[in-house]
Amino acid sequence: MEVVVTSLGMVSSVGRDVVTACAAMRAGIVRAQPLTYFQALDETSQEMEPITGHPVRALTEGFTIIGRWLGLARGCVSDLLRQGALPDASDVAFWRSTGVLAVTPYHDDDRFGGEASDDAPPSTEPVRLAYLQPLLEALGLPIDERNAEVLCLGAAGAVHAIHQASRWMADRGLERLLVIAVDSYCDPLTLEWLLQYRRLKTPEHPQGLMPGEAGACFLLESAASARRRQPPMQLAIVSAAVRMEKDHFFTRKPNLGVALADALEEVLAGAALKAPFAGSLVSDLNGENWRANEWGYARLRLGQKLAEGLHLVLPATSVGDTGAASGAVGLCVAARALVRGYARAEHVVTVSSSERGQVGAVCLKLKG
């Protein structure tokens, strides 16, 4: 089944809708500010100083973890409904043929008090009960709960959702799939977890990330349904690939970019792009050494398949690291570049890497 992207939605620190947010990122606008509720020791002054981050003020203030996710998800879905001129809840037939994949952070590691296991990860049912069910109720759309699932794969979750969308929709007899990706690295519990692993950017540790938060979503629709509806926007998913990096961040082994290079090579080949690719590539590079090393090694492995003048787009420079939302944020940035006509070529590629090894790449093109 051929699927296309027919609507987008986003809320971030630089915009409460996808149009504003992507325009702000393109203009280099940054709204970083001290997170006064979380401090770290400045070893030079021996005083506690607040961490700088990219919060979505008002929308998430006063909430932790699930509360933040719900606020961000509701905000980006409301934007998606407006951007795509989608029907309201009264169109039961439309929403009954729509499924939901909710992309979240990993649910089984010590960020949330669990213990990660690559062999037998625990059930995602707690995430479904605590987050997905309340979200479906809050959205108020007649989506069948049996067609809604969670995908707890972190930053690369959105790419995995795209990769399996056709099969997932065909198996359930659906015409479209709403992918919602949210995360907050500005939550106090998460900030403590990031500090524990020395991942935060501080005066003593400049090779770290600046915490952000965002909600980003997109609507995947069968090409046949899109032809009937004629939505305002149609973006073709030319190719998509996912891989698993065995030497991920938590193995403490050097990440040599093997999986990322393989995924990107498959996407470039699947899109039949002329080498070397010199267009726009949206990446989730965030200031951490492991991501920089992974990308550097991947470029070396790809050799002449990528041009020296490749246009690298880094959303994290404007909105910080948005965790599990970053893959969907990157896709929205790529899509808007194509729609507005400022992409360097007719194809835009996005890449995503999760700290526990999942990686992926997608190639988009404006459908004529």
Task: For 180-191, write each residue's pLDDT tens digit.
Answer: 999 999 999 999
Task: Determine whether 366 is exposed, middle or buried from the number of CB atoms within 10 Å of its CB (0-12, 13-18, 19+).
Answer: middle
What is the pLDDT at residue 42? 74
- Sequence spans of domains, the chain: 3-229, 238-366
Q: DSSP letter for 109, please.
A: S
Tokens 């003048």 found at = 309
- Taking only the tens place, the pLDDT of each residue in 14-39 is 999 999 999 999 999 999 999 999 98
Q: Compute the distance between CA of residue 205 and CA of residue 288 in angstroms, rounded to an integer.
A: 10
Angle of helix 326-340 versus helix 18-26 axis, rounded to 10: 80
Mean pLDDT of the chain: 94
Superfamily of domain 3-229: Thiolase/Chalcone synthase (3.40.47.10)
- Taking only the tens place, the pLDDT of each residue in 65-76 is 999 999 999 999
What is the pLDDT at residue 365? 97
CA-based nearest residue to 221, from 166, 290, 163, 279: 166
Q: Compute the distance between CA of residue 336 and CA of residue 78 in angstroms, rounded to an integer.
A: 18
CB-based contact 251:280 (threshold 8 Å): no
Query: Mapping DSSP to helix (H, G, I), strand (E, B) and coil, where does residue 336 land?
Result: helix
Q: pTM of the full predicted structure? A: 0.96
Q: Which CATH class is domain 238-366?
A: alpha beta
Q: Compute the distance between CA of residue 257 and CA of residue 252 in angstroms, rounded to an integer.
A: 14
* Range from 9-18, 113-122, 218-227 carrying the lowest mean pLDDT: 113-122
Cα separation values, 53 from 40, 209, 210, 307, Å: 13, 9, 5, 33
**Bridge partners of 241?**
361
- The answer on pLDDT for 116 being more than 60 is no
Dihedral (CA of 50, 56, 58, 61) sign: negative
Task: Determine whether 93 is exposed, middle or buried from the number of CB atoms within 10 Å of its CB (0-12, 13-18, 19+).
Answer: exposed
Q: What percent of the chain has pLDDT over 70?
A: 97
Q: What is the distance of C-alpha 37 from the center of its chain?
A: 26
Q: Compute the distance between CA of residue 309 and CA of residue 216 in angstroms, rounded to an integer.
A: 29
What is the average per-residue pLDDT within 258-272?
97
Q: Compute the distance between CA of residue 297 and CA of residue 303 in angstroms, rounded to an integer.
A: 10
Which amino acid is present at 307?
Answer: A
> Is 238-366 the same fold as 3-229?
yes
What is the average per-residue pLDDT within 294-320?
96
